[in-house]
Structure 1
Amino acid sequence: MNKPEYFDARTTVERISPGNLLERLAAEPSPEPRPIVRYAQVLKELRKLSSGIGNEYQQMEFGRLVKKSLEELTAELGLSEGHFSVDTSGDPLLVREGAGQHWILPTHFEGGAYFSAPHADHQYGLRAAQIPRINIGRYVRFGKGSGINAGGDITIGDGAWLSPGSLLLRQDHSAYGRPSIGARTVSMTHQPGIVLRDYAWVGRDAMVGWNSDYLGLASVVGTRSFVNAWVGDYSIVGDHGRILQYQPFKAFLFGRYELTVEEVLRISDWGKVDQDWRRAYADESAALLDADTDLSELAELTAELTHSRSRALLIRPSSLRLVPLLTQGRLDIAAHSGDLTPYVLQWAGDHKALRVRVRSDLTDTRLPFETAGTFHYNKRVGYDLTVCEHAPGTPAVALAELERTLLQGGVLLADVRALTDAGDAPDNLVETRDLVLGGVAYKVFRKK
């Protein structure tokens, strides 16, 4: 090799004779206890036992076993309360519908459903508190042979369903740089976590990749789809996350009424829900479009930045007024609540703007990104335009965090009220102009 400067001094490769292989595989590198090894052992043992799951009673019993095993691991490793949680509460529900009937069980695992252990041998140095979290809600169904790689935090809401054969991946063997067998040595437990919101549904044999950190409320990942980015609330998606349909009537129902699982199961005429929603939309949407506000100056700005391949992020919108201006390309919307979600999705569906994603998990310390991280292999990832509006009673967003969402050369348009006490502008964020929209002052920045 004539390029030794490429070698990593921290990486060594040692030849082991075949006769000593089993001995070396069984040996621990050092005597200190390893939390990640215990974590992997517990999940491996549960996976082995899951193959024997049979009838419905055994499926529920296995859910309780998962809960008990993780609680014991919490105590053993001195983890904080809530690091692991599995909600197996509730009674089995027998639903009679027409001439048929079926069971809805408390959180349960069908035969072969499992959590797979991360590659513990890559992560010996992890402290107990760094072990991925697992939190599972009520009435969650893990279908036959479904699997979750637990190399990142897993949060699953009430009523979610992983169909038979579906997979959630929290690991990544990068093909960029390391070829084939070399990619196997990359660390596996530093992947972003994933949240499945209430009633999220992963279809049969679907695969959700490492860059998906969010499956939205009542969202559906279609059968045999591969999705490697987050999925918006109340959206049905196919392969590569292509949006097939929105379900604004569900956003309307769940947003306005606090429904129990039992009440949700008693609704069969969703057409009636849709009719009621469309009447509400007809009465209320005009005001939310805010047609009286002069947006011509903003329209000129967005026309320069948005096109069929552009990506825009709209943060905590207060109305629909900006949505039509930002849907030339793909539009992501992040909000603290789902109040506006049914209106956005109905407008998008009516106008065939099937490239809009909405999520209602916004925090003010970590904004959503196109993928689950800030870097996706060696691709340029980020938004061409980020628009930050102001919601009353919400704290300011740091300019550094807003800047993080942008591509190089991207533009930030921010309500000045949202920037109060938000910190100094990063060096690579340059203020270019001021705008006034509907009596509200905005500042425009460009990322160097």
Structure 2
Amino acid sequence: MTETMLLDPVQVLVSSDQPLQVASAALFEDDRLIALGDEARERAAEQGVASQSRAHQLLAPCLVDPHSSLPSPFTGGGETLETLIHSAGRAGYGQLALLPNGESERDSPERLKGFQPRGCDLKVHLWGSFSHRGEGERLSSHADLLDAGAIGLSAGQQIPSVNLIDRALLLGEMAGAPVLIAPNDPSLRGNGMIREGVETLRAGWPADPTISETLPMGQLLELQRRHSTRKLVLMNLSTADGVEMLSHTTSPPLATVSWWHLVQDRSNQTAENTHWFVTPSIGGQADRQALIQALGEGTINAVAVHGIPLDDEECLLPPDQRPKGLSGHHLVLPTLWQRLVVDLGWSVNQLWEALSFGPARLLGQDEERLSIGSNRWLLFDPDQIWNQTRDAPYAPKAANQPWIGVPIRGQVVSCGLKIPTNQIG
């Protein structure tokens, strides 16, 4: 937006502690929110600003992604920090937290530099590596990483040894910072590509047993019980059994879920659709429904994009050889709006708790909110139809985006964030 603009009427969600305003108004000046409600109308009338009706659209705080990967942030022909910030910012994300794994494991303070573009409103947070070189054999310098600005510590896509986690929590260099651990044991998963079930057998893919999540999860729940003052976070919960374990735990740790596990399950997939091979594995309908219920009840605290961008060459590899994962910050809000708000009757407040407020708290950050004088806002049109293509403006550069060529309903049509990503400081 430029100059002065009045949206009236428009739906407005200000913050987590305020209800949705269905027929409100919002006045903007050069992308900054100047006034809301009757004050916006009065000031617009004084200035002779005509209103624009956006009754079906939603003005809301920016979204927050608690964890995604970016293996090659500064080089290569695929997704880079610049292209990711462009696409995620255009999709309404005001904060991203990047996992430490990649070409250069962020296990030392000097490797945390250069990720925040100068003059960019999108905040880039960095997880520091839990172990030296990410190998899971000895601890990195947790205190030094956190002093250098790491948002917390992460062990990546699989659980390190329980003894190593126990030692770290006992030493307590992380103090109150989050420690992000995936309840995923690769030795139990083996070559599994889809969670075990009838559909997996029918499709002919190697099965990933449920115990590859539940056994390491039991260990993590015990560690949280023993170290109750630490902020342990379970990354990407994916099974109904895991949800049940978490819900029956006294003082449970925080937990995240990937958006993809909320919208997909093995029952409606075919053997030809290889973009659904992710870590952790996709499960059945009961798993998906349990995850949605746990998210709605607050047992799961945040939805992660958990983007893992692949380039064109990687996507040409056979499914059992290519890295697992998919990308698509721009698909998360439209898809979850349809699945949760339209299909299941979730409130806007519930959805924003999962996509913005909860993730911010998990990262130890202030919640996003609409503030007068601020440009941290998004405008979402749930009825906008657009085509998912790789060559669209602001589209991610990753080759592993789902639904290429498929019309998508719902789009962030405007966002106030300034994103001059050509200057990395």
TM-score above 0.5: no
* TM-score, normalised via structure 2 length: 0.24
Highest RCO, 1 vs 2 (Cα 8 Å, sep ≥ 6):
2
* TM-score, normalised via structure 1 length: 0.23
Larger radius of gyration: 1
